[in-house]
A and B are shown apart, each in its own frame.
Chain A
Amino acid sequence: MNTEQTKRGIKVIGIILLIYAVLVATHEGEFWPFSIYPMFSQAGNPWTRAMVIDVTDVPDEIMWQLQNPDQKTGPPVSMREIGVDQIDYSNFISKTEDWTGSRRDAVRLMFGPDNIGNSRWMAAKVHGKMIGSDSVAVTIQPFLLVTADSVYMNPLLDESHYFRGGH
């Protein structure tokens, strides 16, 4: 590129930058592949992730109770082994606000009835937050019991945990 073409190149980049700015400003920072790269920008906030625990052999009166990672009621189910993207699953559980029948069934279909078989899998929310100034507390909240043909909500949680949208 000669000097003139270089100037034209910078002008083109400037125009792209303008389009980039408009698109990310009007789409909450993301219009792929444009992004403001906000990952990890809000530090120190409590977080929520999700995991699946195999509760096939766990008594009903125990499986719904709050747990911590060192004392789970059953072994974790590996998302990789059942072909589910962990980040997808985690976001699906933590970002869904209204757990309608179709949304609950979507979890069952995501796991795959064939993968579940005769087992009972507990889809759990996992919460983490700073306690005081020197430790992180992590708790596991059983959320949806998933079998090959049904999905059950936690009877110990009130409806506001499942229908924050007011349905």
Chain B
Amino acid sequence: MKWTDNIGRGLFEPERETSSGELWFFKFFELFVAVYTILFVWEWGWYTQLRNVEVVLPLGLANYIDVSLFFDHNLALFNAALITILVILCFFRLGPKWLYMVVLILFHLQYVIRFSQGEIPHSQNLIGMSVFCFAIGAWFFPGAKQIPRFVMGSIIFFIGLGYTSAFFAKLIGTGFNWYDGRHLWLWISEKSIDILSREGFYHPNLLQQMALNSTAVASVILLIGWFTEFIGFTLWWKKIRPYTTTLLIGMHFGITLTMNIRFDAFVIQLILVGYPWYKLVDHYLTTMPDSVRRWV
């Protein structure tokens, strides 16, 4: 068997029949992505309207068009409204199969409008990648039983790729000594200024104090996180996936504790795609009364 076949079987599970539980869970996941997409575009739209004045760092399409045009006249809010309507149409499978692609382009535009101020956040990337996978899935695998497999499989592929890519970015950017605990001291002090400025006060928590008091503790924290990123690609195989997911969630909690960076949407999405929730839904569907099951 070719290695691509092996990855394909891990991601798309061709031998497994599509169950009702899988279809229900997929629709729930799509709702989750739709809700976060709508939340993000409005949050970004309002912030842009209130705060953005000049483009400091053009990202993506902002390298080719002047996104400062969207800072006034409520244009970022109009874009948010348009995305909201299109996402709802896509969710109910109304409109052409390329509609999700339009959502993706407008979503990208809203991101580069909002984040033209120098910050390059990544906490919304998973939702963005999910919309991207829905766009590709709706276009190339529109069948009711095909789209869930392709979308979930491709999202898992890109999540795994992203983590392993982050591992190599650190290896190339710094070298094998990336996990030196003193690097964590610098990051903790950097984030402490962000917290002090954001909240008006800052007190290090227990884990931060332990890391700041011992190079060894700080090094172990970095090493565990770095190793966890490396094994991100093992998400591609379904038997290992729940274990890798658990480690990745643990790593994100570790980052939150040491560097005060939260990844709410990221972690919720990991929980949703990393475990076989469809089995639980199938279990409830088989144990519920006949009348309810027929309705479902």
Residues of A participating in the B interface, judged by any CB pair closer than 8 Å: 1-3, 5-10, 12-14, 16-17, 27, 29-33, 35-45, 47, 49-52, 69, 75-81, 83-92, 94-96, 102-103, 105-106, 109-110, 126, 128-130, 133-134, 136, 138
Q: List 16 A-B contacts (CB under 8 A).
A: A5-B141, A6-B14, A7-B8, A9-B150, A9-B153, A10-B4, A31-B59, A35-B122, A42-B174, A43-B178, A52-B197, A85-B51, A86-B194, A88-B118, A96-B56, A130-B186
A51-B193 in contact given A43-B183, A87-B119, A92-B56 (Cβ < 8 Å): yes
Quick check: is B96 within 8 A (CB to CB) of the other chain? no
A1-B149 in contact given A30-B60, A69-B193, A86-B194 (Cβ < 8 Å): yes
A128 in contact with B186 (CB, 8 Å):
yes
Which residues does chain B contribute within 8 Å of A3, judged by CB atoms?
A: 14
Q: A12-B154, A37-B166, A128-B189 are known contacts; what are 20 more A-B pairs with Cβ within 8 Å?
A: A1-B150, A5-B12, A5-B141, A10-B4, A13-B154, A14-B4, A30-B59, A32-B108, A33-B129, A37-B165, A42-B174, A44-B174, A44-B186, A49-B193, A85-B119, A91-B118, A91-B119, A106-B53, A126-B193, A128-B193
Name B's interface SS: helix
Q: Give the shortest distance, in Å, between B75 (CB) and chain A (any CB).
A: 18
Quick check: is B54 within 8 A (CB to CB) of the other chain? yes
B57 in contact with A91 (CB, 8 Å):
yes
Residues of B participating in the A interface, judged by any CB pair closer than 8 Å: 4-5, 7-9, 11-14, 47, 50-51, 53-54, 56-57, 59-60, 63, 108, 111-112, 115, 117-122, 124-129, 131-132, 136, 140-141, 145-146, 149-150, 153-154, 157, 161-163, 165-166, 169-170, 172-174, 177-178, 180, 182-183, 185-187, 189-190, 192-194, 196-201, 215
CB closest residue in chain B, given A49: B193
Which residues does chain A contribute within 8 Å of B174, judged by CB atoms?
A: 41-44
A130-B182 in contact given A32-B125, A92-B117, A110-B53 (Cβ < 8 Å): yes
Which residues does chain B contribute within 8 Å of A75, judged by CB atoms?
A: 200
Which residues does chain B contribute within 8 Å of A90, judged by CB atoms?
A: 118-119, 194, 197
B173 in contact with A38 (CB, 8 Å):
yes
| Bound CA–CA A87/B100 (angstroms) | 30
| Bound CA–CA A38/B60 (angstroms) | 16
Of the residues B118, B141, B194, contact of A95 by C-beta under 8 Å = B118
Which residues does chain B contribute within 8 Å of A83, judged by CB atoms?
A: 50-51
A31-B60 in contact given A1-B149, A9-B141, A128-B193 (Cβ < 8 Å): yes
| Bound CA–CA A52/B199 (angstroms) | 11
CB closest residue in chain A, given B58: A27
For the complex of A and B, list the 10 residue pairs with the smallest distance between their C-beta atoms, beginning with the closest. Answer: A91-B118, A33-B128, A41-B173, A78-B200, A51-B197, A43-B183, A37-B166, A86-B198, A106-B53, A41-B169
A94-B200 in contact given A5-B12, A41-B170 (Cβ < 8 Å): no
Q: Give the shortest distance, in Å, between B1 (CB) and chain A (any CB).
A: 11
Which residues does chain A contribute within 8 Å of B125, judged by CB atoms?
A: 32-33, 35, 37
Q: Give the shortest distance, in Å, between B280 (CB) and chain A (any CB).
A: 22
| Bound CA–CA A45/B198 (angstroms) | 23
B117 in contact with A37 (CB, 8 Å):
no
B118 in contact with A92 (CB, 8 Å):
yes
B60 in contact with A32 (CB, 8 Å):
yes
Q: Which of A3, A52, A81 has the largest number of chain B CB atoms within 10 A?
A: A3
| Bound CA–CA A85/B174 (angstroms) | 29
B14 in contact with A44 (CB, 8 Å):
no
Which residues does chain B contribute within 8 Å of A27, judged by CB atoms?
A: 59-60, 63
Which residues does chain B contribute within 8 Å of A38, judged by CB atoms?
A: 166, 169, 173
Which residues does chain A contribute within 8 Å of B54, judged by CB atoms?
A: 102-103, 106
Which residues does chain A contribute within 8 Å of B193, judged by CB atoms?
A: 49, 51, 69, 126, 128, 138
Which residues does chain A contribute within 8 Å of B150, judged by CB atoms?
A: 1, 9, 12
Q: Give the shortest distance, in Å, between A125 (CB) and chain B (any CB).
A: 10
Which residues does chain A contribute within 8 Å of B120, judged by CB atoms?
A: 30
